[in-house]
Amino acid sequence: MTLRGRLYREHHAWIRHTCGEAVIASRDDTLAYIEQYVTEDDALVSTRALGQRTETHPVSAASGAALRFLAAAIDARSVVEIGTGCGSSGIWLLRGMRSDGILTSVDLEPEYQEFARDAYHQAGFTANRARLISGRALEVLPRLRDTAYDMVFIDAVRAEYPAYLAEALRLLRRGGIVVFNNALEAGNTDDGPLRVPDANAMAIREVGRLVREDERLVPLLLPIGDGLLAAIANG
């Protein structure tokens, strides 16, 4: 970095510091600031605690805020979620959707969905706002109607991400949005002679490539949580 660039950066970090805002001194500081920029309320905090106890890995606050933002930006009425968990991402999605919108959420574990149902209730949503379907995503999704959905959020089996993408593109209306969680998750994609490639990491890479190269999609990769990959479906 040039001296001028360094002085410019330090000057702005100083301004933010003295104004009591973020101290953007390093990439780690930037990411940490983004993660706590939008805070979780009591309903989300208790849902996160349950998600951590059950090890269902709730979305980060910044990822949740991005889901809410995207749902609100397209005035989403019908959203499909793959991977209900204990309900964190569902609450964020419902908060961005129209007040008459319906979240269809799929999870293998009915027990987690019972927790999610309670979490939606605690967050103030009536029972008719969520349609919870228990089962394997790749068995349930083919039963959902073509082009009937505004948004599809994917947060389940990484190795199945490419197959979920195909289903999402069938389900989305023109202008709808698909979002993958964990798109920057670390993993071993080295298939050299001494290492076995990790199927999850390979699938995440594959879906990143598919989304970037598909001319019907407008892609966006965000470094929040474990990475959020979004794309507008224009085809």
Positions that interact with ligand SAM (CB under 6 A): 51, 56-59, 83-89, 106-109, 112, 136-137, 155-157
Closer to ligand SAM by Cβ: residue 23 or 38: 38
Q: Which of 134, 184, 147, 139 is nearest to 31 (CA)?
A: 184
Nearer to ligand SAM, 108 or 218 (CB): 108
Residue 111 CB: number of other CB atoms within 10 A? 11
- C-beta of 100: minimal distance to ligand SAM in Å? 23
Chain residue whose CB lies nearest ligand SAM: 85
* Minimum distance, C-beta of residue 190 to ligand SAM, in the bound complex (Å): 25
Task: Specify whether the CB–CB gap between 203 and 158 falls below 8 A.
Answer: yes
Residue with smaller CB distance to ligand SAM, 51 or 176? 51
Write down the least CB distance from residue 7 to ligand SAM, Å: 42
Pairing of strands 149-154, 172-181: parallel
- The single residue listed with the structure tokens 């959902």 is 144
Cβ distance to ligand SAM smaller for residue 118 or 214: 118
Token pair listed for 135: 């089962």
Please identify, using beta-carbon distances, which residue of 135 and 175 lies nearer to ligand SAM: 135
> Who contacts 213 (Cβ-Cβ below 8 Å, separation ≥6)?
none
CB of 159 to ligand SAM, least distance (A): 10
Strands 172-181 and 228-233: antiparallel
Least distance in angstroms from the C-beta of 83 to ligand SAM:
3
* Closest to ligand SAM by CB, 59 or 76: 59
Q: What is the CA radius of gyration of the chain?
A: 19
Looking at 38-190, list the stretches that DSSP marks H as alpha helix, in order from N- to C-terminal side: 42-53, 61-73, 88-96, 110-122, 137-140, 161-171
- The closest alpha carbon to 168, from 229, 109, 233, belongs to 233
Q: Which is nearer to ligand SAM, 74 or 141 (CB)?
A: 141
Classify residue 209 by burial, with Cβ atoms within 10 Å: 0-12, 13-18, 19+.
exposed
* CB of 195 vs ligand SAM, minimal distance in Å: 25
Residue 58 beta carbon to ligand SAM: minimum distance, rounded to whole angstroms: 4
